Each structure stands twice: as C-alpha cells, then as structure tokens.
Structure 1
Amino acid sequence: MTPEPCAATPTRRRAYWHTLLSVAVLIVAGYLARRHWPVLATGAARLAHADHGWLLVAATAVTATWVCAALAQQGAVPPSLPAGRLVAAQFAASAANHVLPAGLGASAVNWRFLVRSGLPASRAASALAVKAAAATAVRAVLITALALACPGVLRPPQVSGGRLALAAAVTVALVLALVPLWRRCRPALTGVLADVRTVHARPHRAAALWGGSLAFAGLHAVALIAVAQAVALPLPPARVALLYLAASSLAALLPTPGGLGSLDAALALALTATGAPAAAAASAVLGYRLLTVWLPLIPGLLVLAVLVRRRAL
C-alpha cells in the first residue's frame, strides 16, 4: 500500500522556518549584547540597587496579568470554564510561550485546555482567534490614544517618492497573493465571526473578553513603568507605556520564543531613541524581562507538568 502524503508537512515546514528565523534573531541579539556588554553590565548593576517598592509594584502587576489572561479567555467562549485551572493554564502557557517560537507554546496550551474542558477542536481554535483579535484591537486603541497624548513620540519615517511607490507596489502584490489564501480561510473566518457574535450576545462574556484584554496589555505597561521608576528612568509614564506597546507589537512580528532578543532590542532602542540614557534603558528592560520571563519560567513549567499529569491539558 502506498503511504498517503503527510498532511502535517506544511506545518512542519512552517515550524522549520520559524525555528530558523528564531535562531537568526537570537544570534543577532547575542552579537548586539556582546558589542554593548559594558552598557548591559552597568544596567544590571543599576538594577541591583533599584527601589524595591517599585519593583514590588511591577511584580504585582505581572502576577495580575495571568488572571486577566484567564478572564479574556473565559470571555472568548460561551460555556463556563473551571476558574482555578484556567488561571493555572495561563501561567503555564506563559512559560511554554518562552520555550517555543511565535507564541506557539501559549496557543498549544490554551487550545489543549479548552479541548480538555469539553470544547470541540474547531471551537477551541476559534476561541483563541477571538481572544487574539480582541488583544490586537485593544493594543491598536491604546497605541492610538497614547500617541495622541504624547505627540511626536512615534514619528513616521521619512520616505522618498521612489520608496513610497515601491512600498505601494509591494502592498498590492501582497494583497493579490492573499486573495487565494482568503478563499481557503473563509470558512474558518466565518466560524470565528459566528463565535464573536455568540460571545457578544452575552454582555458578561463580552465584558470579560474586552476587559481582560485591556487589563492584560495595561498591566504589562504598568510593570515596565514601575521598573522604570525603580531605576529612575527619566521618561514620563505615558511615554514609557506607548513605547512598550509599540515595541512589543513590532517584536511580535519576529517568531522568537517570548520575544527573546527581539523585544529586548526593540524596547531598549525605543527607550534610548526618546532620550533615556543607555544604562538606564538597559536596566529597565532587564528588570522587566526578569519579572516577566526568567523568574516565572521554572514555576510555570512545573505547573505545566502538573496540569499535564492531571490531564487538564
């Protein structure tokens, strides 16, 4: 019997290219870290003498983000989910997200949790899409509002007429290339829109979805603001929040695990480009990443293992 072609080949191919790009980004990040090592060392020393009160505020904000992620995930599905396990799944998902590229870890953990909670596989995937769409919309609104409150911070690059025409041609080519993809994905998008209508037919679910998404993004910004205050970063809080939202949205385009390397570089560049000293910016980024990635990583992986063992995932 001739074996059938493996349907997972395109997925494996995408995972291969994601991994290759992740490795490339990490190599570049390592090169930049080695080149600017004196600045990083000074930033680490500055973080060691940071204000502990502000660091406690940052740690509290980071802890609350997992509750907000659980709230948003509950808002994306009509049936009620077990609250305790849902929060634990978000904590585990954040750890898995820093192991696999491009957010695949968090998506896999949440999808598996929803399926184990009784949702069909297609509905679980739609729930993740609904949550992601709400998070993207919330970030866009926050960036727009903060950009209006802090004029001149996000300045569009100066583009010549030739480059503008080239960008327009590339955009048109991309749109034309996406037309066949749109036709193939149309049934799935129809299902997502149906789930959006179902969720918004229940006001308490819609409030959880949008409120959790807003609080999640806002608390991450608060965490960076608190770390910036702890290391005496000379930038207004609103500007720090705007730079965080813009830099993290840009870093999400690169499929590194948890934005490792890409988010660090984007945040440091954004802070220094708006007037912060390099050592203070490095200290703020190191403190933020320590609280959001390195300290919760091992406990998160342990929670993930416990959830798998108890068949919650």
Structure 2
Amino acid sequence: MTRLLAIAVVVVGLTVVGLRGRLPALSDVVDALVDADYGWVLLAVSLQLASIGAFVLQQRHLLHSLGVHLRRGRAFAIILASTAVGIAVPAGAAVSTAFTIREYRRVGATREIAAACAIVSGLASIGGMALLYVGGSLAFLAGSPAGLNWRPLLIVIGLAALTLVAMVIGRRHLRRPSPGERESGGSRAARYVRAVLRSAREAWRAGAEISARDWAAALAYATIKWFADLMCLVAAVRALDQPAGVTALAGIYLSVQIVRQVPLTPGGIGVIDAALVAGLTATGASTTSATAAVLIYRLLSCWLIVPAGGVAALALRRAPNTSI
C-alpha cells in the first residue's frame, strides 16, 4: 500500500509540474466543472468502461483461440493492473507487457502463447487506430479532398502488408519441424541470445496459429476500444458545452495519440494534457472550459486507473493461479 501511495504522489506531482503555468485559475476550473452537464459525464464514464471492456474481451478471445481459458473477472483485473503499470512507471509499455505475460502464465499459458497474445494485441491495436484514422480521413475527404494528407494512409497500408506477410510465412513455418538447437555451449551471452530467438520464433509460430477470423475479431475489439475512448473525449467536451465538432475532436485525438507514443513522462502526464487543451482552444473553446473537459477525460482514461489498477494488482497477488 505504501508503494501505491508513493506512485499516486508521483503522478500528482508530475501533473502539477507539467501543467504549471499553462492552466487557468483552479477556482475557474472548479466552477466550470460544477456547471457541467453530468448526463454527458456519466456517458463519458460508460464509454471509458466500454473501452476497457473491449480490451478485456479481446484478450480473452485471443487466449481462448490459443487454448487458454481466462475468466472474465481475472481478465479485467489483469488489464486494469497492466494499464496502471503502463501509466505509472517509466518505459511503461514494456513493463506493462512483461506484467501481462507473467499473469497469463499464472493461468496456464506458456511463455510463447502469452507473448503471442501480446504481439497480436499490439498489432491489432495499431490496426484499430489505423481504421479510426482511415474513417476520419474519409470523413475529411468528403469535405475537403485536396487537404487530405495521404502519407499516413500509405504507412498504414504498408504495415498491414507486412503483418499479412508475417502471418503467411508463420503458417508455412508451422508445417516444418523445428530445427534442433544446442542448449549448452558457448558464452552466457550466446546462450541468452539463442534462448531469446527461440522464444521469439515460438511466439511467432503461436501467433500464426490464430485464424483469420480470430485476427479479425481482435482487430474489431481494438477498434471498438479506441472508438469508445475517442467518444469518451467527445462526451467530456459536450459536458462543458463546447463548440468543437466530432470530426475536429477526432483529429485532435488522433494527433495526441502520436504524441503519446513518445514516453516523455509516465502516461504522458503534462504533455498529453497540454496538447489536448491546446487542441480544444484552437477550435474556439475557452481555456477554462477546455481544461475542465480535459480534466474529466484524463481522470477517466488515465489518472483514476492508477489507484484502481493498484487495487486490482493486490487482488491478483492474493489470488490463486486459477481465478479471482
């Protein structure tokens, strides 16, 4: 519990430092929150829960397709805890993935299956974001064909092609017996490299066993996850009665996702918040209302997940290796 409190203090401290001098007076933000439409706030809460739920369903589906049963309660706890880890610590994505793989192994998954699930989930996440970008681009194309930047779409197509090639090669590799490898001999570094390469190959083979139908399901769940998160931002902005349209908010959201990939601070604290506020004010919102809307969205999608994930992690630690 002391460790969780320390993490919470660090998160709050980073938020204050990152946003210092960029926000309006706290009293003005509080007044805006008091006057917010709480029907939209409740909708934002529901949408964020739907986003997390879609991720949970995706993970259960992938594991089930690989022969591992994961009960809904434990899956929710794992996702909540791993998301909190990804937000709260430096190099959060790598640490979160390692945590998830460890928890999947506790419920009976092999290292290769757990790693394959993480890899497929990551690719599906990229694909889901790409589908949102394509949808937003088509909407923008309908209004302003000449202003569309096609380069990101070409990158998306290239990534999709590489993923397809990897799947095809992996399926062909499944038909071949694994070559014998020396488990001993050589330096410690050489043995470690062989072990890593062997694990990577087996994870690749496990991922290739997933059918096209299961890949499509994983992509669909990932798209729902991102879309629900986007709609959570839209609901938060609507709660403050701001003029930004859905298309403009989608553009802001997708741009911020690029910023989020640069881990300058844990969870993008300070950086993402400032980027969202700047984007909303550019659409005509006042700084006070934009800050209040971002506060609602970030509370639901980031800050409140840290303590909730800490509680989930404690439950997982005390649970047996079957379910909670």
CA distance in 1, matches of 2:216, 2:22: 45
Contact conserved, 2:97 with 2:118, CA < 8 A, in 1? yes
SS of equivalent residue, structure 1 residue 234: coil
1:127 pairs with one of 117, 121, 138: 117
1:200 pairs with one of 202, 211, 235: 211
CA distance in 2, matches of 1:237, 1:98: 26
With structure 2 as the length reference, what TM-score do the two structures score?
Answer: 0.70
CA spacing shift, 1:147–1:44, aligned 2, 3 Å: farther
Does residue 227 of structure 1 match 2:236? yes
1:216, distance to aligned residue in structure 2 (A): 0.7
CA distance in 2, matches of 1:142, 1:191: 31
CA distance in 2, matches of 1:266, 1:189: 37
Contact conserved, 1:243 with 1:270, CA < 8 A, in 2? yes
Does residue 107 of structure 1 match 2:119? no
CA distance in 1, matches of 2:122, 2:18: 31
Gaps of 5+ in 1: 1-22, 157-182
Residue correspondences, number: 260
Contact conserved, 2:260 with 2:268, CA < 8 A, in 1? yes
CA distance in 2, matches of 1:247, 1:104: 20
With structure 1 as the length reference, what TM-score do the two structures score?
Answer: 0.72
Aligned residue in 2 for 1:290: 299
CA spacing shift, 1:186–1:113, aligned 2, 3 Å: closer
2:139 pairs with one of 141, 149, 152: 149
Structural mapping, 1:178-257, within 5 Å: 191-201=202-212, 203=213, 205-257=214-266
2:277 pairs with one of 259, 265, 268: 268
CA distance in 2, matches of 1:268, 1:249: 16
Gaps of 5+ in 2: 1-9, 150-192
**In structure 2, what residue type is equivalent to 1:58?**
A
CA spacing shift, 1:40–1:122, aligned 2, 3 Å: farther
CA spacing shift, 1:259–1:76, aligned 2, 3 Å: farther
CA distance in 2, matches of 1:38, 1:146: 31
Identity of aligned residues (%): 28
Residue-by-residue CA offset, 1:50-100 (whole Å, 9 max, x unaligned): 101000000011112222111222233312322221122112222222221
**In structure 1, what residue type is equivalent to 2:96?**
A
1:86 pairs with one of 71, 75, 85: 75
1:31, distance to aligned residue in structure 2 (A): 5.1
